[in-house]
Structures are given as structure tokens and as C-alpha cells.
Chains A and B, each alone.
Chain A
Amino acid sequence: KQEVTQIPAALSVPEGENLVLNCSFTDSAIYNLQWFRQDPGKGLTSLLLIQSSQREQTSGRLNASLDKSSGRSTLYIAASQPGDSATYLCAEGAAGNKLTFGGGTRVLVKP
């Protein structure tokens, strides 16, 4: 059974500090790992997708790594801003386009 875990469930950082968000998964045969952002009451915004054959993916201030052997992915957000406050979710992609989600990390960036 696929399981995805995100620890911590919440964290608070001062503006300008780098954010490090962790995601653990149990299925080494994943197709991909996708990171999303969710603002309160809203849908999910795709941030980055890392294919199983890749080790990392970058977009602007965001960088995500993937280590299948240890079952871990990490999302780095450089120089955090108050606008980065949101819940960040990781999801493991499998056959049939099924995504298995972690519980999310709620981030608060204080001005």
C-alpha cells in the first residue's frame, strides 16, 4: 500500500529564511513525485513535477529533489516571502494517474 508522509505538519519561519519541506513515500516504483501549493479553501496549484528518472527539478526560487532509494523528496524554497504562506502537499504518482497525497505542511512566513 502506498503511503506518503509529510513532517512537520506545520512550521513558521521569518521572512527571508530558506524553507525546507520533507516528503517520505513507501513505493519505490513511483512514476513521479509532484509538489503542490494550496491556499485556504482553494484548489491545488502544481509547483514542480519530478520524474522518477530525475534527481531534482528547479523553478525560480523552488528546487525539489527526489531520492527513490531512501523514499524521500525535499522541496526547498529560497528566501521565503509572506506570500509563500500556504499548505504544501506532495503526491506520489502511480499507474492509472492515481496520486497518493501526504497530509501537507502548513507554512507561515512572518514579515
Chain B
Amino acid sequence: KAGVTQTPRYLIKTRGQQVTLSCSPISGHRSVSWYQQTPGQGLQFLFEYFSETQRNKGNFPGRFSGRQFSNSRSEMNVSTLELGDSALYLCASSLWGDGRERNEQFFGPGTRLTVL
């Protein structure tokens, strides 16, 4: 079974631009979560989608948004990019959406975003 895939793997943008990242979960998984990883802040939760609905959101500004499609694929968008948005963006998929004890999460390889 294929793992979580993320595209593109690398992106270079300039301040003020916007960017869209894509995540395809493991087949059959319906929950997709997004995380930002930076050297200073570590891994931080952005948001989680289940059945095309955002159910949980981290403490990030409104410039960060996302959506999930009917096939469970997800995209996240960052508008008006700032230098501090440079990070590794990771998505994770899991089978269930109700936070069950055995709901293991599997991560993709990430998208490395550099903002110049």
C-alpha cells in the first residue's frame, strides 16, 4: 500500500506570494492533518480535516488555510508569504476521525518551502 505523498517536495517563493501544497493520504484513510516544522518552534499543528470538514485548527493566522476533497486528498494554502513561513510542511493521514486510542498517524515526506 502506498504511503502518504506530498507535492511538490521543494518550493521557493518570494515574500507576498501565495503557495498551495498538496497531500494524498494512504488509501482508505479519511483524516488528514497538517503540521509546520521549523528549527525554532519544532512541529506545530496547523489543522485537521475529516470528511471534507475542518474539525481542528492550531494557533496560526488566517493566511493559512486548507481544504479536503471527496477523495480525501487535501491541500493547504498560505497567502501573503512571510520570511517566517519558511519551513518543512508535513501532512499526516489516519484511518479514523474520532481520535480513537489506536488511531496511528502516518506522515508524508514533507514539502520544503523557502521564502526569499
Contacts and interface: CB of A to CB of B under 8 A. Distances in A.
Interface in B72-103: 88, 90, 92, 94, 97, 99-103
B48 A43 contact: no
| Most chain B CB within a 10 A radius of its CB, from A43, A49, A98 | A43
Interface residues of B, number: 32
A46 B104 contact: yes
B56 A97 contact: yes
A95 B99 contact: yes
Interface of A: 31-32, 34, 36, 41-46, 49, 51-53, 89, 91, 93-104
15 contacts: A31-B99, A43-B4, A43-B6, A43-B90, A45-B107, A46-B107, A52-B101, A93-B99, A97-B33, A98-B48, A99-B43, A99-B92, A101-B42, A102-B42, A104-B42
Interface of B: 4, 6, 31, 33, 35, 42-45, 48, 50, 55-56, 58, 88, 90, 92, 94, 97, 99-110, 112
